[in-house]
Structure 1
Amino acid sequence: MNQTLTINISGIVFHIEVDAYEALKVYLNTIKSYFNNSEEREEIMLDIEARVAEIFAEAQNDKNQVIVMADVNKVIVIMGEPEQYLTDEEEEIPTQKTHRKREDKKLFRDPDDRVLGGVASGLGAYIGLDTVWVRLFFVAAFFMGFGILTYIILWIVMPEAKTTAEKLKMRGEPINIKNIGKAFESEAQKVGEKLQNVDTNKFSSKAGTVLENIVMAIASFFTAVFNIFGKVLGIAFLFVGTFMLVVLLALLFGSTAIFSISNDGVYSMASQDFFNLIFVNQDQFYLASIAVFLLIGVPVIGLIFLSIRMLFKVRSHYSVGLTFVGLLVVGTILAFMVGTRLAVEMSAEEEFEKTEIISPDFNTYVIKTNITEMPGQGVLEDKFTSISIEGDMMYQRFVELSVERSKNDSMMITTNFSSHGKSPKDALNKAKAINYVHQLNDSILFFPDYLATNKEHKIRGQQVEITVYLPLYQSIYLDKSTKELIYDIDNFTNTYDKKMVGRKWVMLEQGLTCLDCNDIEGITSKELEELKALKMVETVIK
């Protein structure tokens, strides 16, 4: 292993082999000797050393932390031999075409050709357009109402080209000895011209300085606001991301996790119990957990990482982004695998129906449901759905009730049981396994708002749909407890389901009609009796 030294170039520390250091030292001293007669020698050398440090930094990686002779040779190739600065003009042949790779341009404000902040001249250099046209654009934009704000924003986001190397990058010129030297000569010439025209430009310079100070003050204000806003946003991202990550981990791997809180109460989920009611086996559960964590957890971790960058100005390597993308791809593949398997498990749907005929012994039947909670321990609870388990039984609140007109004089109740499964036979077996029974006690019809089935049948979209068929002039009373049970009941006045509860309804020729309602168009009991009497007379005549 060759002997190494530690050197400092432009504020950056490098480890360099001795022979490479000697070659670099000779190279820099030779360059310095060519600029002995220049007043800007120190500034030129600082820019050259900054460019050398930049090239060395680009050459370093995890495997190569020491500057070797090949790196010094690369610097000489990029920067050029010192002799080229003096002999370049003599060696140029007008008819000879040279192919020189241009550097990528970078957007800077040009302080040497500025009226206010050098935004227009910097944009002109970047897009290769004369500065006059860019300034005319901003003048036109000013009269259109968006020029000032646009200029201030650009002033804030565009850094000023302070060094010669940055000015060369702004124009897309290679950063080598020749161009650095010419740039300093050009700047010296411009300074001389400004000194000659100092009296002529005195007034315009003062005006420009005043405007520049105003814009600088505005830019400084917005910069401070943006910095504060960035810190606040970073803290918010950190808090939200951490909270979401904790909730996600508790949901996937904890015993119980709070999902959300609303005015209707706490929506809670015992994750392990709930997922066991969906997936066929533990392997599916683990794959689904990993997929959910990758698809949701990785973006959340990215949010936390972004907040840390915003708060502490931490720089990230491009490999971090590639890692995030790779994990998301893996999560997508796993989710597709699990989703495909679940789709197969629920690919078929079957149903069967039970019908019960009821003798209309009462003028009005009262339809009620339970007002107590389902049996067992809640697994998934919110305003619209509920699932609970007790022993080997699973209870689901997927029951709907509707009312229609009977095709004869009989009152009927049909109960439709449906379920999904991996095959028609499997789906039918799951539908037949649903346990649901309504009760008739005198004039009271009691319909539970939940169904029961064995846990081994899993959650496969089991549902019970009840339809009460009313003969003509038969009335019912919808108890207030049925507010969440009834579903899309067709009626004469198109009254919403939740407004139908707590009222009497009678089946007429035009449909279900409100009986003795003050705030809904309907029919009175007296009018109903008259209709019944008229119907009886018509029947006798026939």
Structure 2
Amino acid sequence: MKKVININFQGRVIPIEESAYDMLKQYVESLRKFFANEEGRDEIINDIEGRIAELFGDSLKKGATCITDDTVNEIINSMGRPEDFEGEESNVHSQLGGEEKEKEYKFNAAGAAETSARGRLYRDDNEKILGGVCGGLANYLRIDPTIVRLVFALITFMGGSGILLYILLWIILPSRPLEGISSTKRLYRNPDERVIAGVASGIASYFDIAVWVPRLIFAFPLVLGIITSIFRGAFWMDVDPFPGIIFGSFGGTLFVVYAVLWAVIPEAKSASEKLEMRGEKVDLNTIKNTIQEDLEGFKSRAEKWGGEFKDKAQQFGQEVGQTVGQKGQQFGAETGSALKRGGRRLGGIIAILFKAFFLFIAGILAFALLVTLLAFMVAGVGVFPLKNFFLEGFSQNFLAWATLLLFLGVPVVAFITWLIRRIMGVKSGNRYLGFTFAGLWFIGLVCGGILTYSIVRNFDATAREKHEYSIVQPSTGKLIVKVPDSKVKVYGRWFKMDGIVSMNDDSLFLNNVRLRIVKSPDSSYHIYSHKFSSGRDEGAAVKNIHEISYNINQSDSTVWLDRGFALKKGTKFRNQGVQLTIQVPVGKRILIDRTVSRRLNWFHVGNGYDWEWDEEWNSNNEDWNSNVEYIMTPGGLERIKTKEDIEEEKRRKAESESDDNNDAVEQYKKSKEELQKEYERKQREAEELKKELDKPVDTTRYRYKKQTVMNEKQVQPAVAEEQKANVLPIEASRLLMMQMVY
């Protein structure tokens, strides 16, 4: 009979025999002595203990009640003893060399795994999450269980049949604990060669392929989708960068697959997990080599980061060292030994957190900048046909192309180049490439600024030209205003803004027309227009006005207004517009058709005040309705009341009177309630006074007083006393009278 104790070993509660615990303790102490002079000895011992704890956990999962001496001996033999590696190291270096010995071991282990019998298919109780189906299939196929689980997950996401297949295998296959395959590789995310999450580098390590292959498989469809979206948006004005690029077509499928792999595949954190990822034997020597390689890599990265701050740190140290040097040395001598190991780990943690935070912020800014540049580039390409109507001369066209290609295109090309280099794992040997991209982008920025200034100068001057249209006075005394469909048909549109402007490669149609209605100075209707345009100078603005072709037509009492006007190819857009004014004489009528509000840009009804194109209006802009007759009065337009308007007015008046009556009734009820309350209060006061008067009189207070003669000063106090004595009867009488009134 042996004593069993519970120990906390690497965060696991392990039941172990006391003798086995002594063996484990001696083994760990021998490891500490063996690695005493090795760099990173604490990390090596910690990873070896973590591996032993994993093996203890596997043994307990298989049904063992506790860890016995045999279990500890088996694990020690598999991990190796320090004295074995001392002799093996000299033997290996003298005969085959360390690398050949390791390759021989890999070959022999792989061969043994391939030639061993597969046996019957079971569900694995040791590697189960739900029912052990994936673990059993992985044991039978000699692959990592994570691969089988991913296959089932993908089948489930694609068609939903993965769940049914899993349930069927769960029912059919028997269950038993299965022995793990020591030579089987495990699929992990590789943290040492990761760009995003280490999924691609982990897959490359598992299948022994170059890391750029899976990265290219995942990234190429996404990059191709971005490029095709840019060209599609440029030529078809159909830009949907998110979520179409990410979740659309084959690239979206790979994006989802990468996200699933990121969530399912664990990261290789410890040295033993990294050895399993590469398919190497997990023993003392390999764990030591792996940790030392990680330390060397971290040291090189730390030296690289530290080199950037070396000069400033030295300068700062020289300035401060003179004042605090002695105290700092004394404090460092006292606390250096205690904080050395903790400071090393804390420094590593701080460096990792700082780098992660910096990369996160930089990634967000880079992505936002890229999306912005792509949006501007797509917009620039999309509206590029407008250049024939905005730009003039070779210089402006050249500057526009330079701005598009250099200012917007160079950052996109630079980002794609950087992304491809990261995917391929290629480091740029040419340090001038970044300066070249920056220089080209700056040239594009300068070209954009010059182009903007040149275009703005084309709108410096503004000119107007008035034209009066000759119309026949309507015999009925009523003018009807309508706007027909545009006579200009624009086919094969490149650009459209909801009726304001539409264009193709040879014409530009503008709906820059405003209409206002004012009082006529005489007894006739008048229609005149103000055509206006901008230009580099007044002469150019007048020339642009002459290119505007706007007409009106009359049919009896109906006037038809053009919806807009077209600019032919060669005519530049300089904010051309037309302002129409219809003058209505006093006493005459006008009817505004519904098409006016639907097809004209602005409509204004005036009451006699002047109104200009670029001014805002408040008091001189009145409410109006389409298909309703208005009559011009000395005070402005007024709506002619129809039968329906009269009935509506009567209905509103009746509702108003009803509301007034209801208010009067409510006021009467309120006054009655207040009078009733006042009456009740006065009645209570009268009753109290009556009770006071009904009290018996005390006759003993009356005494004979001798009448004396009083002077004027003595008479006044006596009169006052008499008045006070009469107050009570008078007040009582007044209250009684009020009670009688109520």
Q: TM-score interval w.r.t. the shorter chain?
A: 0.3 to 0.5
Q: Whose helix fraction is larger, Structure 1's or Structure 2's?
A: 2
Q: TM-score, normalised by structure 2?
A: 0.35
TM-score, with normalisation over the residues of structure 1?
A: 0.45
Whose Rg is larger? 2
Greater relative contact order (CA < 8 Å, ≥ 6 in sequence): 1
